[in-house]
Amino acid sequence: MVEQVCQQLALSRKPLIIDELDHLVTKGAVEMIRDIYEGSRAAILLIGEERLPEKLKRWERFHGRVLDWIPAQPADFDDCRHLARLYCQQVTITDDLLTAIHGVCKGSARRIAVNLERVQDEARNMGLAEITLADWGKRKFFTGEAPVRRVS
């Protein structure tokens, strides 16, 4: 299968994007990725947790082929607006609501996307083509926090 992957990458001249590389590192599958690179010479974008460079040092032949280490930056408001165009094609979300979403998500693109989808669903349920912060009202945003335990 590695040969097929290499052949397809070489023919398509497209990059290979591997998200959550940490899981492959934990399973020791790093050499397979190096084999794919060597067989295709395709650009490979590796995405992982902050300690990924440290974890990869164990495989020097792999680690030495990494051209650049670029830490992820938190999503800014423009990123939030762009994600809204991608995730909410059926509804327009006004800037005041986008500002609130961006604020509670603290730069997490994943949480922004989850909230955008929830807002779009709610707007559609309400029959709205455009939704504002006032329309959203007191509904909660997804923050990733577990609910607080109720004390009886």
Return the amino acid letter for 139.
R
- Write out the chain's pLDDT in tens, 152 residues: 999 999 999 999 999 999 999 999 999 899 999 999 999 999 999 999 989 999 999 999 999 989 999 998 999 999 999 999 999 999 999 999 999 999 999 999 999 999 999 999 999 999 999 999 999 999 999 998 887 788 87
| pLDDT score at 147 | 79
| pLDDT score at 111 | 97
Q: Which residues contact 63 (CB under 8 A, 6 or more apart)?
A: 53, 56, 57
| pLDDT score at 148 | 79
- Confirm if 142 and 114 have CB atoms less than 8 A apart: yes
| pLDDT score at 103 | 97
E strands within the chain? 16-18, 44-46, 92-93, 130-131
- Confirm if 38 and 9 have CB atoms less than 8 A apart: no
| pLDDT score at 107 | 93
| pLDDT score at 121 | 97
Read off the tokens for 146: 């577990």
* Residues β-bridged to residue 18: 46
Domains and CATH numbers, the chain: 2-63 (no CATH), 77-136 (1.10.8)
Q: Which of 124, 81, 129 is nearest to 102 (CA)?
A: 81
